[in-house]
């Protein structure tokens, strides 16, 4: 009888211990779920959630148009390029930025054809600019439908080569500036997410 009582007491003790352990696991699970749910309920949490998916696609280090800027610097003083080009305004609305960029790269093809005919000294630099833009826009189709406020290339005023390059540079620099801001924001959020993951692992 004594042995049976001891066995029963031991079994009861183990059962209570298992229940306590199970309660702890359930509590951790509920707290973690509650934390994540609360995080996703607010704007910041949603931004972090969506940017986490975007972060791996973010190119690190520099703006993708830096090489284009270098080539523009190389051709801007050329004396053997004399052509009129549809020149978009450098201060167009931000939602028109992509269309403006496409317009400049399309007009660069006109410069390239002119250089081939005249055998310009900067033909290779012009080709590099056109190729970089063409490759980029081939991979990335137009992000959105054209806004009514955005113009087609042919709607812009024709300007000389010097003015064209000046506006092109301003548009590229503007795009790179926006890229830099986005890159810093994503880097900051990535760092915060990593810290959050560490805290969650410690909590678990």
CA quadruple 25, 31, 34, 39: dihedral sign: negative
Residue 144 and residue 117 share a domain: yes
Bigger pLDDT: 129 or 198?
129
Q: Is the pLDDT of residue 172 over 60?
A: yes
pLDDT (tens digit per residue) in 50-81? 555 554 444 556 788 889 999 999 999 898 89
Range of the domain at 7: 2-57+193-203
Same domain for 81 and 172, yes or no, is yes
126 and 102 co-located in one domain: yes
Query: Residues of 10-29 as b/e, b for ≥16 C-beta within 10 angstroms?
Result: eeeeeeeeeeeeeeeeeeee
Q: What is the CATH number of the domain that holds 162?
A: 1.20.1250.70
- Into how many domains does the chain fold? 2
- 80 and 131 belong to one structural domain: yes
- Residue 198 has a pLDDT of 59
Global pTM value: 0.60
Rounded Cα distance, 98 and 169, in Å: 14
Q: Answer yes or no: do 93 and 46 share one domain.
A: no
C-beta separation of 160 from 139 below 8 A: no
**Residues with Cβ within 8 Å of residue 46, at least 6 apart in sequence:** 40
Kindly report the number of other CB atoms within 10 A of residue 125's CB atom: 21
Residues 85, 38 share a domain: no
Instruction: Examine the domain organization and report whether 89 and 153 are in the same domain.
Output: yes
pLDDT over threshold 50, residue 9: no
Residue 65 and residue 116: Cα distance in Å, rounded? 24
- Residue 59 DSSP one-character state: P
């Amino acid at each position: 009888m004594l042995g049976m009582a001891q066995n029963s007491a031991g079994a009861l003790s183990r059962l209570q211990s298992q229940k306590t352990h199970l309660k702890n696991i359930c509590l951790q699970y509920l707290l973690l779920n509650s934390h994540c749910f609360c995080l996703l309920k607010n704007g910041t949490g949603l931004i972090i959630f969506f940017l986490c998916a975007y972060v791996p696609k973010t190119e690190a280090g520099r703006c993708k148009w830096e090489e284009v800027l270098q080539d523009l610097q190389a051709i801007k003083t050329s004396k053997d390029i004399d052509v009129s080009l549809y020149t978009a305004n450098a201060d167009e609305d931000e939602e028109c930025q992509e269309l403006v960029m496409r317009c400049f790269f399309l007009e660069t093809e006109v410069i390239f054809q002119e250089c081939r005919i005249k055998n310009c000294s900067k033909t290779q630099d012009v080709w590099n600019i056109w190729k970089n833009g063409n490759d980029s826009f081939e991979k990335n189709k137009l992000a959105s439908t054209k806004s009514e406020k955005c113009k087609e290339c042919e709607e812009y005023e024709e300007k000389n080569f010097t003015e064209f390059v000046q506006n092109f540079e301003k548009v590229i620099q503007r795009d790179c500036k926006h890229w830099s801001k986005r890159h810093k924001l994503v880097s900051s959020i990535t760092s915060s997410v990593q810290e959050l993951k560490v805290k969650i692992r410690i909590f678990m």
